[in-house]
Chains A and B, each alone.
Chain A
Amino acid sequence: MNLPKRVALLVTCTVDQLMPEVGVSTVKLLRRAGYEVDFPMEQTCCGQPFFNSGFRDEARHLAKRTIAAFAKYDAVVLPSGSCTTMIRQEYLHLFEDEPDWQEHARRLADKTFELSEFLVHQAKWDPPQPTESRTITYHDSCHMNRMLGVKEEPRQCLEAAGCTIDEMAESERCCGFGGLFCVRMPEVSNAMTNEKLRQAEDTHAPTLVTSDPGCLMQMRGLVDGKPFKVEHLATVLEEMTR
């Protein structure tokens, strides 16, 4: 008997509160790929905002909660490269002085995946032959690209779903979000976003896709009046593979 494969969704606080439809799309995609999806209700935030601001104790506390909430699952999937990086890499740094927790963190790190990475490497995702095609341009979120090294996977998923990728000049250039950076230094942050949007506009693609809710929120905040929309990877993949 083939037991259904089970994964837990770590939806991230940003998706949870600001763009739950991204979470819904993620659930649908995972189910279509043959997974049973569970959602531990006690999850809130992975602690990254506090870690990035230097509030290590607060970050550790939230990290411990997250580790506990997902301990019993075989795999954890996130629709965010940045939160995946937090769990996969920064938790290990956070618990350098607490070997027991570092061990727990390592176990969670080993089974935690960003969505596109999970689809490509774990699920061996093979969606039905696409019926429509769509041109998009893709923004590489910084942590996902540089720290996780996940650059090709979202593109592979998008192409498998029928998207043609029109690359912008510097897809890896930061969108200006940077967590609290966008609030602490809005002038610089917005200038960075405008540069990103300008490069996206140059491609004439009607959709700018990214895998991180933070980048999405940032770019949506300044995209009004531009001839394209900004969408999350999960949303686009889900729509294209219905």
Chain B
Amino acid sequence: MTATMHEFRHSAFVAIEDIQLQSALEGATHKFGTGRTDALAEVPEVEAMRDHFKKVRAATLSQLAHHLETFEKNATAAGTQVHWAATGDDACRIVLDIAQKHGVKLVTKSKSMATEEIHLNQVLSKAGIEPVETDLGEWIIQLAGDPPSHIIAPAIHKTRHQIAEMFTKETGQQVSADDIPGLTELARQVLRQKFLAAGMGISGGNIMVAETGSLVLVMNEGNGRLVTSTPPVHVAVVGLEKLAPTWDDAAVWLSLLARSSTGQALTIYTNIITGPARPTDPDGPQEVHIVILDNGRSKLIGTKYEEVLQCIRCGACLNACPVYREAGGHAYGNPYSGPIGAVIAPLLFGLDKYSGLPHASSLCGACKDVCPARIDLPRMLLELRADEVEQRVLPWWESMSERAAAFGLANPGLFKYGTAVMRQLQRPLAKGDKLNLPGKLNPGQSRKTPALAKRSFHDIWQSGELDNKNGGE
């Protein structure tokens, strides 16, 4: 998958023309956005809490190797098997090895962006292992064969009618699109059988807590609890930056995570997993594995992009982003959409492949405003654009016209002459204060291009008519 400028535009255009999708996007992002505002308003001194959280995240990243080693030591002591994956392929191979060692044929999964990132489902399917997504939204997009279009609401782009149709096709049972509880119940029946039959459960992870070697998982549907406790083996794939040194740090993290993402004070379920089932436990997995995923993250440490690793994947920036709210998630060409996706996809997966994403922003700054860690995403988009110029990712004609324009603007004589020539050239096209450009030549498409004014402010000033004595007041 890629997202060049052309690809982003094309995919965004399809989304913009889709009236149903537009109304779903606007509705959901608005609901999440206001939910976030209201939920944070309940916390006394929430701004101070965000400042504190930012400090915690920055301090953690500055000593990440140390904290990861502490986590590994404590998790191992609790009986968890810790694996290190340098790349997505490595992570997939580790998970596949574990599955094959146990002769697993069916895997249940709870929602995980990290496994979307490494395309784990495709790898498992190819090896003859059936992965079943059990988060309702994830199951829907798995049936549809779609990538997620929102970090926390992956099926935001699907209507209930489309969902009813897919469920009927999958189960052979008729279900009405107007019967939402019926749809949910049907999914529940199917998935319950999968939970009981699965040989392995795969999850992501929201927080790794170093001081006890625990993994924290948050969810609202409870499916993750079945994924991580019913099958004999549980494997979690977690990005290496999702680390809290202490439970105090994790507590602040949790306070901000649910409020920022869904507007809840806390998600319905918060799971804390510290090793496999003890001999006295009535249930729980015999083995717990945590695959710590690098996949391009560690190379950002110590660079101008390190701050982006403070992200806790709450999705608040998507809901606030006016570009995401029109373009939807698929235009970003990778599982991470919105402003955070526009920054991390080029950094993790290649600036050349995702060259459109640094430009998929008006730099309005709404993302930075809502980020629980106050990550300066607009600044990083600007840095990526500068990297594109430096690495010559931009087309030559664009670089040439930018440089020519800058040269002209740096030379007042040339600027005056150039704009005078343009005033002459535009005469046949100018209509009032707009240019009447034929459709394909109009850079703004349906948006009218402004004409140069008859006289520039420079001319007006120089003419002396603005002098006080001439009525310039």
A and B from one complex? yes
Interface, chain A (partner B; CB < 8 A): 11, 13, 15-21, 23-24, 27-28, 31-32, 39, 41-42, 44-45, 47, 49-56, 58-59, 61-62, 65, 142-143, 146-147, 172-174, 176-193, 195, 217-218, 220-222, 224
**B305-351 CB contacts (< 8 Å) to partner A:** 322-323, 325-327
B57 to chain A, nearest CB (A): 21
A101 to chain B, nearest CB (A): 16
B412 CB contacts on chain A under 8 angstroms: 41-42, 44
A50 CB contacts on chain B under 8 angstroms: 402, 405-406
Using A24-B472, A190-B446, A221-B450 as known contacts, list a sample of 4 further A-B pairs with CB atoms less than 8 Å apart, ordered by residue number in A. Answer: A55-B406, A62-B409, A173-B366, A220-B433
Interface residue B137 (Cβ < 8 Å from any Cβ of A): no
Q: Given the complex of chains A and B, what is the CA–CA distance between A177 and B361 in angstroms?
A: 10
A220 to chain B, nearest CB (A): 7
Q: Given the complex of chains A and B, what is the CA–CA distance between A17 and B405 in angstroms?
A: 14
The answer on a CB contact under 8 Å between A28 and B460 is no
11 interchain pairs, CB-CB under 8 A: A11-B457, A16-B457, A16-B458, A20-B457, A21-B453, A39-B461, A53-B402, A55-B403, A61-B406, A191-B326, A192-B323
**B439-473 CB contacts (< 8 Å) to partner A:** 443-453, 455-462, 466, 468, 472-473
Interface residue B225 (Cβ < 8 Å from any Cβ of A): no
Chain B residue total in the interface (Cβ 8 A): 66
Q: Given the complex of chains A and B, what is the CA–CA distance between A13 and B405 in angstroms?
A: 12
The answer on a CB contact under 8 Å between A181 and B361 is yes
Q: Which of B368, B406, B433, B446 gathers the greatest number of chain A CB atoms within 10 Å?
A: B406
B27 to chain A, nearest CB (A): 13
Q: Given the complex of chains A and B, what is the CA–CA distance between A39 and B415 in angstroms?
A: 17
Among residues of B, the one whose C-beta sits closest to the C-beta of A224 is B448
The answer on a CB contact under 8 Å between A222 and B446 is yes
Q: Which of B4-12, B93-101, B124-132, B154-162 is found at the contact surface with chain A?
A: B4-12
The answer on a CB contact under 8 Å between A187 and B472 is no
Q: Which of A17, A24, A28, A221 gathers the greatest number of chain B CB atoms within 10 Å?
A: A17
**Which residue in A16, A45, A177, A221 is a CB contact (below 8 Å) of B449?**
A221
The answer on a CB contact under 8 Å between A182 and B447 is yes
Known: A17-B456, A24-B460. A181 touches B362 (CB 8 A): yes
Among residues of A, the one whose C-beta sits closest to the C-beta of B393 is A54
Interface residue B43 (Cβ < 8 Å from any Cβ of A): no
Among residues of B, the one whose C-beta sits closest to the C-beta of A217 is B450
A24 CB contacts on chain B under 8 angstroms: 457, 460, 466, 472
A39 CB contacts on chain B under 8 angstroms: 457, 461
Interface residue B388 (Cβ < 8 Å from any Cβ of A): yes
B463 to chain A, nearest CB (A): 11
- The secondary-structure label for the interface of chain B is helix
Q: Given the complex of chains A and B, what is the CA–CA distance between A63 and B364 in angstroms?
A: 22
A62 CB contacts on chain B under 8 angstroms: 406, 409-410
Q: Given the complex of chains A and B, what is the CA–CA distance between A133 and B364 in angstroms?
A: 32
The answer on a CB contact under 8 Å between A28 and B386 is no
Among residues of A, the one whose C-beta sits closest to the C-beta of B33 is A170
A21 to chain B, nearest CB (A): 8
The answer on a CB contact under 8 Å between A174 and B366 is yes
B171 CB contacts on chain A under 8 angstroms: none
B5 CB contacts on chain A under 8 angstroms: 184-185
The answer on a CB contact under 8 Å between A31 and B468 is yes
B369 CB contacts on chain A under 8 angstroms: 146
Q: Which 4 A-B pairs have the closest CB atoms?
A: A178-B362, A54-B385, A58-B406, A174-B364
The answer on a CB contact under 8 Å between A186 and B444 is yes
Interface residue B16 (Cβ < 8 Å from any Cβ of A): yes
B200 to chain A, nearest CB (A): 41
Interface residue B387 (Cβ < 8 Å from any Cβ of A): yes
Known: A19-B453, A20-B460, A221-B448. A53 touches B385 (CB 8 A): yes
A190 CB contacts on chain B under 8 angstroms: 444-447
Interface residue B365 (Cβ < 8 Å from any Cβ of A): yes
**Which residue in A19, A52, A53, A187 is a CB contact (below 8 Å) of B12?**
A187
Among residues of B, the one whose C-beta sits closest to the C-beta of A221 is B447
The answer on a CB contact under 8 Å between B359 and A23 is no
Q: Given the complex of chains A and B, what is the CA–CA distance between A185 and B5 in angstroms?
A: 8
B247 CB contacts on chain A under 8 angstroms: none
Interface residue B363 (Cβ < 8 Å from any Cβ of A): yes
B60 to chain A, nearest CB (A): 26
The answer on a CB contact under 8 Å between B461 and A18 is no
A127 to chain B, nearest CB (A): 13
A35 to chain B, nearest CB (A): 11
Q: Given the complex of chains A and B, what is the CA–CA distance between A211 and B395 in angstroms?
A: 33
B50 to chain A, nearest CB (A): 16
Interface residue B269 (Cβ < 8 Å from any Cβ of A): no
B378 to chain A, nearest CB (A): 9
A52 CB contacts on chain B under 8 angstroms: 363, 382, 385
The answer on a CB contact under 8 Å between A54 and B387 is yes
Among residues of A, the one whose C-beta sits closest to the C-beta of B448 is A221
B280 to chain A, nearest CB (A): 55
The answer on a CB contact under 8 Å between B473 and A143 is no
Interface residue B389 (Cβ < 8 Å from any Cβ of A): yes
Interface residue B360 (Cβ < 8 Å from any Cβ of A): yes
The answer on a CB contact under 8 Å between B455 and A20 is yes
Among residues of A, the one whose C-beta sits closest to the C-beta of B8 is A185
Q: Given the complex of chains A and B, what is the CA–CA distance between A19 and B362 in angstroms?
A: 22
The answer on a CB contact under 8 Å between A191 and B16 is yes
A181 to chain B, nearest CB (A): 5
Among residues of A, the one whose C-beta sits closest to the C-beta of B388 is A54
The answer on a CB contact under 8 Å between A13 and B447 is no
A176 CB contacts on chain B under 8 angstroms: 322, 362
The answer on a CB contact under 8 Å between B443 and A183 is yes
Among residues of B, the one whose C-beta sits closest to the C-beta of A58 is B406
The answer on a CB contact under 8 Å between B364 and A18 is no
The answer on a CB contact under 8 Å between A18 and B453 is yes
Q: Given the complex of chains A and B, what is the CA–CA distance between A42 and B466 in angstroms?
A: 18
The answer on a CB contact under 8 Å between B360 and A185 is yes
B462 CB contacts on chain A under 8 angstroms: 41
